[in-house]
Amino acid sequence: MNASLESLAPGFGLAASGVDCSRALSDAEFAELERTFFQAQVLVLRAQSLTPAQYVAFARRFGPPEPHVIDQFHHPDDPNILILSNRKRDGEPVGLADAGTYFHTDYSYLQVPARATMLYSIEVPKAGGNTLFANQYAAYDGLSETMKKRIESLVGIHHYGNRKVADEMSRVAASPLTEEQKAKMPLITHPLVRPHPVTGRKALYAVSGSSYGIVGMPEDEAVALLDELALHATQPKYVYSLSYQVGDLVIWDNASLLHSATLTDPDDPRTLWRITVKEPSSALDALVVLAPTFAGGKM
The contact set with Fe ion (CB under 5 A) reads 100, 106
Closest approach of Cβ 153 to Fe ion, in Å?
27
Closest approach of Cβ 108 to Fe ion, in Å?
10
Closest approach of Cβ 139 to Fe ion, in Å?
17
In terms of CB distance, is 102 or 143 closer to Fe ion? 102
Closest approach of Cβ 105 to Fe ion, in Å?
7
Contacts of 20-26 with CB under 8 Å at 24 or more apart are 20/48, 21/45, 21/48, 21/50, 21/54, 21/55, 21/58, 21/249, 22/48, 22/49, 22/50, 22/51, 22/54, 22/58, 24/57, 25/1, 25/58, 25/61
In terms of CB distance, is 19 or 134 closer to Fe ion? 134
In terms of CB distance, is 133 or 137 closer to Fe ion? 133
In terms of CB distance, is 106 or 279 closer to Fe ion? 106
In terms of CB distance, is 100 or 161 closer to Fe ion? 100
Closest approach of Cβ 259 to Fe ion, in Å?
6
Closest approach of Cβ 23 to Fe ion, in Å?
28
d(CA 244, CA 230): 26
In terms of CB distance, is 114 or 193 closer to Fe ion? 114
In terms of CB distance, is 176 or 218 closer to Fe ion? 176
Residue with CB nearest Fe ion? 100
Closest approach of Cβ 274 to Fe ion, in Å?
8
